[in-house]
Amino acid sequence: MTRSPLSQNILNRFLKYVAIDTMSDPHITDHRPTSDGQIELLRLLESELRALGIGDIVFDPKGYLVARIPSNLPKGKSVPTIGFMAHVDVADDVAGNGVKARVIDSYDGKDIVLNREYSITKDDNPLLAGYVGQQLVVTDGTTLLGGDDKAGVAILMALAERLVANDAIGHGEVELVFTSDEETGSGMDAFDVGMLRSRCCYTIDGGERGEIEAECFNAATVEVDFQGIPYHLGAARGRMVNSVSMAVSFIASLPRSESPEATDGRYGYYCAEEIKGSSIHTHAIFYLRDFELEGLERRIDVLRSLAATTEKLFSGGKVEVNSKIVYQNMYEAIKKDPAIMEAIWKAGEKLGVKLHEKIIRGGTDGARLAQMGIPAPNIFTGSHNLHSRFEWVAVGAMEESALLVEQIIAHWAGVDA
Ligand SMILES: [Zn+2]
């Protein structure tokens, strides 16, 4: 079966990038990025972009690369700069280094044997049925593959090559953003948003074909300190206040039906994430999530009122609540500029790709970017079973993602800045 030059280009790049060890390490907090391989890959991307003739590049040693492809529209036509983002690191859930990818040229519709121990089964992967006769990439069963997010990186790099080589595709200024340490959750901490000119920045970091995401959780971390009153245990009656008992009472008052393990879809939750202490002082950390910002604020209020109740129940004890919004639903920023989602839907129509919207029960780098003022919806990459040895990537879906991005760029070329 003959493959398109674009899909061949994406596949070649994908195989090259997954072979570089870029596993990030959430336990390292004192330097960025958290692994040398991420710098190696960012440097490789930089040199590949330069070889394409792209000169407007910013390399930030903290682990970011921004490259701008200049507009090729007639002089005087002013359209918005549009950004696209992917991250170079891979997760550490299973081994993320030493990846040996295997290409299946024409999927035969059966279970895919990875090694003696592991297989990707049709039963667990009903979507495989849609890819019979098509090209897939899988692992050797010992590591993850890294489709999250090297598929996104390969898609953007192949597209950059196509835009530069083919002047028939009219486009405004296109900004490509490659980030690091996304999987640690703190990948955007050192990001200087001043580097970007984009009106919006689509992240290419999603899953199955056709899936797009514009909503994620609002998230708060709440630290609660319970202060007891110590007393000699032998004479403690009526005098001692035990902070461990206070914390236990506080946590037991949270609705079990609103925990992560009891919710899905659009329901938010309270999660007692960590607890440490003694009878004198107990420290607990809570993760609160909600798709509505008011809902999240209500949840924080619930903890505050529960703190007051606990103080009443344990006379003399003190409860202090400190809350911090960690990230916000990216939809808050996206909804203010309807043209951003319209560009995706219009591009999908033009391409004849069926798109469907999904909500993310978590956060993304896009959510962090949205908080910095740049709305950032997420687009599929064709990757499945992310962060696992059972990962598989459909080359045709990666190509479709690249073509969708191209159509989004073409759409914005017709929008006045
Ligand atoms: Zn990702």
Q: Is the pLDDT of residue 2 over 80?
A: no
> How close is the Cα of 205 to the center of ligand 1, in Å?
5
Percent of the chain with pLDDT over 70: 100
pLDDT tens readout for residues 338-392 = 999 999 999 999 999 999 999 999 887 888 899 899 999 999 999 999 999 999 9
Instruction: Measure the CA dihedral 42/43/44/50, to 10°.
Output: 110
pLDDT tens readout for residues 389-416 = 999 999 999 999 999 999 999 999 998 7
pLDDT of residue 327: 87
pLDDT tens readout for residues 318-347 = 999 999 998 889 998 999 999 999 999 999
| Count of alpha carbons within 13 angstroms of residue 270, beta-carbon side | 22
Instruction: Give the span between the Cα atoms of 271 and 361, in whole angstroms.
Output: 14
Which region among 151-160, 161-170, 198-207 has the lowest average model confidence (pLDDT)? 161-170
> How close is the Cα of 228 to the center of ligand 1, in Å?
43
> How close is the Cα of 148 to the center of ligand 1, in Å?
5
Note residues around ion ligand 1 (Cβ under 5 angstroms).
148-149, 205
pLDDT of residue 55: 95
pLDDT of residue 167: 86
- Band of pLDDT at residue 304, cut at 50, 70 and 90: very high
> How close is the Cα of 345 to the center of ligand 1, in Å?
22
pLDDT tens readout for residues 105-145 = 999 999 999 999 999 999 999 999 999 999 999 999 999 99
Instruction: Give the span between the Cα atoms of 164 and 171, in whole angstroms.
Output: 10
> How close is the Cα of 177 to the center of ligand 1, in Å?
14
Q: Which residue ranges form the domains of the chain, and what is each CATH number?
A: 5-216+329-412 (3.40.630.10), 218-327 (3.30.70.360)
pLDDT of residue 363: 83
| Cβ burial, residue 284 (10 Å; 0-12/13-18/19+) | buried
- Band of pLDDT at residue 26, cut at 50, 70 and 90: confident
Just list the catalytic residues: 89, 182
